[in-house]
Amino acid sequence: MLTLQTIKADPEFVIGRLAVKGFDGRDIITRIIETDAERRRLQQKTDSDASELKKLAATIGKYMKEGDKEAAERAKEAVAALKESTSELQEQLERREHEIREMLLTVPNLPCAAVPEGKSAEENVEEKTGGIIPELPADALPHWDLAKKYNIIDFETGVKVTGAGFPFYIGKGARLQRALIQFFLDEAWKAGYTEVEPPFVVNEASGYGTGQLPDKEGQMYHVTLDNLYLIPTAEVPVTNIYRDEIIPEAELPKKNCAYSPCWRREAGSYGKDVRGLNRLHQFDKVEIVRVERPEDSYRALEEMKDHVQGLLEKLGLPWHILRLCGGDMSFTSAITFDFEVWSAAQKRWLEVSSVSNFETYQANRLKCRYRGADKKIHLCHTLNGSALALPRIVAALLENNQTPEGIMVPECLRKYTGFDIIN
């Protein structure tokens, strides 16, 4: 969440940047500032009363020592009255602090200066493109038909066992999934990321820490009996490793990668664009997460983009990078770059990765800090990216690599799959 210092330093700037995300922040920012002014007034009064209590307590001993019992009794009565008043003030102070935090949780992160203005995905900016778009014959099949033809993904049985959006991967399809996961993890390891295997459910505090709550609770699967949430991405448990931590500056950056299944309800999704692997409720993904000093985070962001680009190039997929406009960004991000691959049979781009810098927004929620060389405590910057999400990668690989003999497996995966072709 935004810090109070950021909001109070230049409210009009904050309101203006929020507008880039399509968020009308004038009312909430005004209320936060007014409530904080009341909080500070209560804090000053509480501090003043505490000082007065200390003085009165000292006089009781003085009067008792002098034998002035009446004066001591009056001092005791004054202490009791002031304690009652201070207790009420403390309750009011805690209420104001709670109100401020609740309001701050509803305010999105500020988009950085490099974020273009725009209201929807149509206004995202293409930054870079690479790879060769294959020319397929007119009778080329989309991946859902290829999956059925080669018996590698079973959507129908998934519907029977669980519901739509929960496919079974079979035989070479299952091996391809496992090959991609291992390939992505191995590449992250080579790039200096420490692999962790996180829990696949998190508590409420973790959801608030990374910003899934209260913004995306409608998209998360909630285990109500235990008040736990199935993770929508490994970002959530991995970033929360550093919740309530003060990291020595010498230990930064923290670079972690993790494989996990991910669960998203994707409420309201329908139509041709969600067919097959295009949009699932459960899918596999490898995530990269970094915790950085503020002055290093944008260099780290470029390194993460280069890493994802390298994966797509090794897979031989046509790709492009989009810099998201304000209206298409997430609640928590300061800047986001989406990677999309070309799906040759569907003749459309499919998003396979988002790489984001959250600056101090998540860190402030998490209380993720570091102790600098100046011995002071500072908020970290957090970043994450998909490296990569599997379903649409698989869709593009199947469609782009189909031949009359079968589906050719990219060279970089063959040592993991144990076969060169799906037929």
Whether CATH 1.10.287 fits 4-104? yes
Q: Which residues of the chain have pLDDT under 50?
A: 268
Measure CA 358 to chain center. 8
Domain with CATH 3.30.930.10 in the chain: 121-422
Quick check: 170 and 154 in contact, CB under 8 A?
yes
The reported pLDDT for the residue numbered 269 is 53
Specify the 3-state DSSP secondary structure of 193: coil
> DSSP for 331-382?
SS-SEEEEEEEEETTTTEEEEEEEEEE-TTHHHHHHT-EEE-TTS-EEE-EE
Query: How are beta strands 319-323 and 168-169 bridged, if at all?
Result: unpaired
The reported pLDDT for the residue numbered 256 is 98
The reported pLDDT for the residue numbered 48 is 87
Quick check: 105 and 208 in contact, CB under 8 A?
yes
Domain with CATH 1.10.287 in the chain: 4-104
> DSSP for 58-113?
HHHHHHHHHT-HHHHHHHHHHHHHHHHHHHHHHHHHHHHHHHHHHHHTTSPPPPPT
In this structure, which amino acid lies at residue 183?
F
Angstrom distances, CA of residue 318 to CA of 99, 132, 187, 312, 397: 49, 5, 19, 8, 10
Phi and psi at residue 353, to the nearest 5°: -160, 145
CATH of domain 121-422: 3.30.930.10
CB atoms within 10 A of CB 306: 11
Query: How are beta strands 282-292 and 254-263 bridged, if at all?
Result: antiparallel
CA torsion, ordered 104, 360, 194, 198, to nearest 10 deg: 0
Rounded Cα distance between 248 and 188, Å, is 24
Rounded Cα distance between 263 and 232, Å, is 5
Q: Which residues contact 273 (CB under 8 A, 6 or more apart)?
A: 279, 348
HSE of 139, CA atoms in CB hemisphere, 13 A: 2
Quick check: 158 and 362 in contact, CB under 8 A?
no
